Structure 1
Amino acid sequence: MPTWKHSFNNFLNLFLQSDCPLCQRPTPGEFCPYCIKQLQNCQHKNPAALWGQPIPVFGWGMYGGIVKRAIAVMKYENQPQIARPLGQWLGEAWLLSKVSKSPQTPPLVVPIPLHPQKQKTRGYNQAALIAESFCQTTGLKLQVNGLKRVQETEAQFGLSASEREANLAEAFAVGEELRRRRLNVPVLLVDDIYTTGATTRSAVKILNQHGITVLGLVAVTTSVKDKYAKSI
């Protein structure tokens, strides 16, 4: 390559690069190579370890450390672009797993929604952005407004298991598009974090009430007991 072209490309890259949202190193992507390595080290060896009844859960990584920070930065520091690699890694893990080949009919992907007021304040729903990237990777169809949040619930953090269930008891409703169509494929829910399962159970309950089958939930991270962490 001629020297002037090489110099021009280096000059151009200075303007194309931004700071990594986790460590502030210059990077052309969402994360710098150092943080990508740290994040990918948090991936479960067996993301499908929780894929079973009553609600199957597929989790890409363990909720904690740098992954926990990445999700917090994405949600609370106006960094929606973080959802793209997280959704991509989740999708790649899904495609490599046996559970992705279990349904005879490919599922319809539906993200867990935010209440409209909270989404207006934040500017985006991180679960929807993760689901979009997940679908771009897997080729599955996305129904962004399959569910809607009809109750503005208080934060789940710090609540007991029974308080979480009560907090989300009537939180969701089926979106208009799903109500109008006769859905003959299962739904695959997407969220950023799976903890006690209260959110997922509430979403599954309302979908089932409308005759919609739920295949399970895929989440970027899962918060699980130590015995599960040791088994993966």
Structure 2
Amino acid sequence: MRAAADLVWPPHSAASGMRVDAPGRLDADDWSAIHFLDAPWCDTCGLPFPYAIGAGAQCPACIARPPKYARARAAFVYDDASRQLVLEFKHGGRVESVAQFAAWMAVSGRELLQGADAIIPVPLHRRRLAQRRFNQSALLSMAIARRTGLRFEPHALHRVKATPSQAGKSASGRRRNVAGVFRVPERARPRIAGKVLVLVDDVFTTGATAEAAARTLQRAGAARVNVLTLARVVRPVNPLT
């Protein structure tokens, strides 16, 4: 049936639209253009460094203002090469790559997933969910949970305020936009109290959403909150300045 469907609706790369051999795959040129992330990076936020400066090194931003989460990691850089891939997934309904995305995230976030108790997706407000029809962070979380055997907690965190998109806002504007938007339901508190949690989202830009969600989970009793995203915005930084 899959072969017949591929003849009628040939699979195409979500990044470039080029023909591929199976749904969810990337064209060879698309694959080679994606900048996958690995060490050396900031031990806290996962910002890549141009060279290694020692275990436990932090970027200047994390030293100056330690984030509310413990650690953050991402699978690849959000840039011109990967933007269409992410946008097709997030807004275009191209969910056939979820299993592949989860595999990449499991590799980049292996140190966060080891010893974790549960995986929690960053929630959408019910209005946004009705418009989009699915929560991309929940799909990623579920796929990672299947790969790792970790508990999937889709209802442990709620978004109680409908806020404008974060796009185009400054770092401070993003923090104001998500202030007080998350809540942990009373019935979910026993399941996260004292637990090590991995918070999953699609794109890490300034970390404002991740910090707001992590703060809410910690106030509800979580012992530790790490953040794992599919992609992240990278601005070049010299770790020694």
TM over 0.5: yes
Q: How does 1:144-163 map to 2 (within 5 A)?
A: 144-163=154-173
Among candidates 23, 31, 49, match of residue 25 of structure 2:
31
Question: 2:72 matched to which residue of 1?
Answer: 57
CA contact (8 A) 2:214 2:225 kept: no
How far apart, CA to CA, are the structure 2 residues paired with 1:218 and 1:44?
Answer: 12
Structure 2 stretches lacking a partner, 5+ long: 46-65
Among candidates 53, 73, 76, match of residue 88 of structure 2:
73
Q: Deviations over 1:201-225 (max 9, x none)?
A: 1111211221122331011111132
Question: 1:3 matched to which residue of 2?
Answer: none
Q: Deviations over 1:71-116 (max 9, x none)?
A: 1111111212233311221113333xx4544xxx433110101111
SS in 2 for 1:19: coil
How far apart, CA to CA, are the structure 2 residues paired with 1:45 and 1:146?
Answer: 30
How far apart, CA to CA, are the structure 2 residues paired with 1:164 and 1:141?
Answer: 30
Give the drift of 1:48: 5.7
Mark the CA change 1:142 to 1:12 in structure 2 (over 3 Å): closer, same or farther.
Answer: closer
CA contact (8 A) 1:48 1:59 kept: no
Please provide the CA RMSD for this pair: 2.8
Give the drift of 1:61: 0.9
Question: 2:107 matched to which residue of 1?
Answer: 92
Mark the CA change 1:163 to 1:100 in structure 2 (over 3 Å): closer, same or farther.
Answer: same
Mark the CA change 1:47 to 1:220 in structure 2 (over 3 Å): closer, same or farther.
Answer: farther
TM-score under structure 1 normalisation? 0.81
Q: Are 2:57 and 1:42 aligned?
A: no
Among candidates 68, 73, 83, match of residue 98 of structure 2:
83
Amino acid at match of 1:46: A
Mark the CA change 1:197 to 1:9 in structure 2 (over 3 Å): closer, same or farther.
Answer: closer
CA contact (8 A) 1:119 1:125 kept: yes
Mark the CA change 1:182 to 1:58 in structure 2 (over 3 Å): closer, same or farther.
Answer: closer
Identify, as 1 or 2, the structure richer in helix.
1
Q: Deviations over 1:94-150 (max 9, x none)?
A: 33xx4544xxx4331101011111111111000111111122222222111211111
How far apart, CA to CA, are the structure 1 residues paired with 2:198 and 2:39?
Answer: 19
TM-score under structure 2 normalisation? 0.78
How far apart, CA to CA, are the structure 2 residues paired with 1:82 and 1:68?
Answer: 14
Question: 1:187 matched to which residue of 2?
Answer: 197
Mark the CA change 1:125 to 1:47 in structure 2 (over 3 Å): closer, same or farther.
Answer: farther
Q: Deviations over 1:5-25 (max 9, x none)?
A: xxx997676258433333141
Question: 2:223 matched to which residue of 1?
Answer: 213
How far apart, CA to CA, are the structure 2 residues paired with 1:10 and 1:162?
Answer: 50
Comparing 216-225 and 23-32, the one that deviates more: 23-32
Structure 1 stretches lacking a partner, 5+ long: 1-7
CA contact (8 A) 1:110 1:190 kept: yes
How far apart, CA to CA, are the structure 1 residues paired with 2:139 and 2:127?
Answer: 17
Question: 2:12 matched to which residue of 1?
Answer: 19
How far apart, CA to CA, are the structure 1 residues paired with 2:192 and 2:38?
Answer: 37
Aligned length: 217
SS in 2 for 1:27: coil
